[in-house]
Chain A
Amino acid sequence: MKISKPLLQAMALAVAVTTVGSSCKDGLVKPKKEEAKKEQQRKLPDNCPACGMG
């Protein structure tokens, strides 16, 4: 399915600026720069791995 160029660019930018970590939690995409620091201090991640709990 075709998705728009601006959306693809936004996705590419988002994953490019996200720090690659060694755990799922570290790999979460940070929503906004100013929130990134706050988010790192949260106990729960904003998005858990979905399946694969086997």
Chain B
Amino acid sequence: MTDIRSSVACNLDSHILRAALPLFADEKVGAIEWSFDALVNPRSMPDWFAELLRTYSGAGRLLGHGVFYSLFSGRWTGAQQQWLDQLKSLSRTYRFDHVTEHFGFMTGADFHKGAPMSIPFTESTLAIGRDRLLRLQDACHCPVGLENLAFAYTVDEVDRHGAFLNQLIEPVNGFIILDLHNLYCQSRNFGVDPDGLLSLYPLYRVREIHLSGGSWAPSAVEPGRTIRRDTHDDAVPADVFRLLKQAIDLCPNLRYVVLEQLGAGLQTDGQQSQFQQDFLWMDHIVQAANQIRNPLINHSFLPRRFHVPDPSPLEDPLLYAQQLELSDILETSVSYAQAQQRLAGSGLARSDWAVETWQPAMLETALAIAQKWKNGFD
């Protein structure tokens, strides 16, 4: 049976759980996606949450969604190894139907700080990404996937993102999480037709779709322009539901559609009610697609054989130095003008990063994102 399952991103957050409780009670939640690395202290997990994870795990309906692996860091760190060790241990406790991560590198000084930012699409970053995905697969021994990023500095990145993701996952026979709100952000921020954007992705490699909401931020450096940001703090826009209707029939190997929202956006009864309505509308679209779905298509997204990673993780010292420099510029510049000036005099100037082509409003947005998350969630 290859029905698509309507799912929720379910973490240890009272607002999310309160919003999702009626959906659980009505047996609507077909799977849960757990960000296993967002739990700083596993010992504090209450018994009932562990039981919820075990229930979905036992039914083969638990998805692992990492945030902090920092796939493209130019240097291999002890924190990344610990992250893999934790995943390996959790994979013995829970059976993940698949495990995923985000595209990008984390700007923060350590785990649980910083935000994922884009990287140049080069031979070096491709090799590092593939190396990290092999280690990820070795740790969890299940299908692994990568999520498309919402943020981009240029329209060129937007155009090439799907193809680069496809190259990255090829050695692990991996899959793509197609985050439709991220696609919507790129479409709106760069004036690109969303249908055209969809066609740039290898849709047969999509095993999971994400739905969420976000927010608009006015640009000071490009007056009159507003930037769509993937903040997960509001309802799912109608345009994103429309994208779901289009994409769902184009993804023959789709198994999960996941509604994501941060607890911060689910504090009032009205917000929680809207979340439930969004889920039910999403489920309506999913069940309609299930009626006409070919049940014979069932891609495993497992490799023919599991590769044993090289004992020495691949590194690129120049890339790492550039990432450190960029993180510092993004986290500490007091203005767009200062950031631009510092970039022009940095090791990123006239390099693969192509900082000279970055759109002013997007650099401004990168500053806002990096500075919002530089202290983690304090």
Closest 8 CB pairs between A and B? A54-B230, A52-B232, A50-B35, A10-B48, A18-B14, A53-B115, A47-B12, A31-B46
A52 contacts which of B46, B112, B231 (Cβ < 8 Å)?
Answer: B231
* Complex contacts, A41 vs chain B, CB 8 Å: none
Give the secondary structure class of A's interface. Answer: loop
Once the chains bind, are A14 and B116 in contact (CB under 8 Å)? no
A15 vs B47: C-alpha distance when bound (angstroms): 14
* Complex contacts, A43 vs chain B, CB 8 Å: 378
Once the chains bind, are B48 and A51 in contact (CB under 8 Å)? no
* Complex contacts, B229 vs chain A, CB 8 Å: 54
Cβ < 8 Å to A, chain B residues 236-262: 260-262
A47 contacts which of B39, B47, B51, B378 (Cβ < 8 Å)?
Answer: B39
* Complex contacts, B112 vs chain A, CB 8 Å: 44, 48
* Complex contacts, B55 vs chain A, CB 8 Å: 3-4, 7
Once the chains bind, are A11 and B44 in contact (CB under 8 Å)? no
Contact with A along B336-378 (1 / 0, CB 8 A): 0000000000000000000000000000000001001100111
**A32 → B minimal CB distance (Å):** 7
Query: Total contacts A to B, CB within 8 angstroms?
Result: 154
Which of under 10, 10 to 19, 20 to 34, or 35 or more describes the interface residues of A? Answer: 35 or more
Once the chains bind, are B59 and A1 in contact (CB under 8 Å)? yes
Most chain A CB within 10 A, of B11, B151, B231, B376, is at B11
* Residues of B in contact with A (beta carbons under 8 Å apart): 9, 11-15, 17-18, 21, 24-25, 27, 29-31, 35, 38-41, 44-49, 51-52, 55-56, 59, 61, 65, 67, 102, 112, 115-116, 150-151, 182, 185, 210, 212, 214, 229-233, 260-264, 267, 369, 372-373, 376-378
* Residues of A in contact with B (beta carbons under 8 Å apart): 1-4, 7-8, 10-12, 14-15, 18, 20, 22-25, 27-29, 31-32, 35, 39, 42-54
Q: A28-B12, A47-B38, A54-B369 are in contact. Are A11 and B24 (CB under 8 A)?
A: yes
Once the chains bind, are A51 and B260 in contact (CB under 8 Å)? yes
* Complex contacts, B24 vs chain A, CB 8 Å: 3, 8, 11
* Complex contacts, B48 vs chain A, CB 8 Å: 7, 10-11, 14
Once the chains bind, are A54 and B231 in contact (CB under 8 Å)? yes
Once the chains bind, are B52 and A7 in contact (CB under 8 Å)? yes
A48 vs B373: C-alpha distance when bound (angstroms): 11
* Complex contacts, A31 vs chain B, CB 8 Å: 44-46
Once the chains bind, are B377 and A24 in contact (CB under 8 Å)? yes
Once the chains bind, are B214 and A54 in contact (CB under 8 Å)? yes
**B362 → A minimal CB distance (Å):** 12
**A49 → B minimal CB distance (Å):** 5
**A54 → B minimal CB distance (Å):** 3
B264 contacts which of A4, A14, A49 (Cβ < 8 Å)?
Answer: A49
Most chain B CB within 10 A, of A23, A24, A46, is at A24
* Complex contacts, B214 vs chain A, CB 8 Å: 52, 54
**A53 → B minimal CB distance (Å):** 4
Please name 12 further chain A to chain B contacts, defined as beta carbons within 8 Å, in addition to the given A11-B24, A49-B262, sorted by A numbering.
A4-B55, A14-B17, A27-B14, A28-B13, A44-B41, A44-B376, A48-B40, A48-B377, A51-B65, A51-B67, A54-B115, A54-B230
Once the chains bind, are A1 and B262 in contact (CB under 8 Å)? no
A19 vs B114: C-alpha distance when bound (angstroms): 27
Once the chains bind, are A48 and B38 in contact (CB under 8 Å)? yes
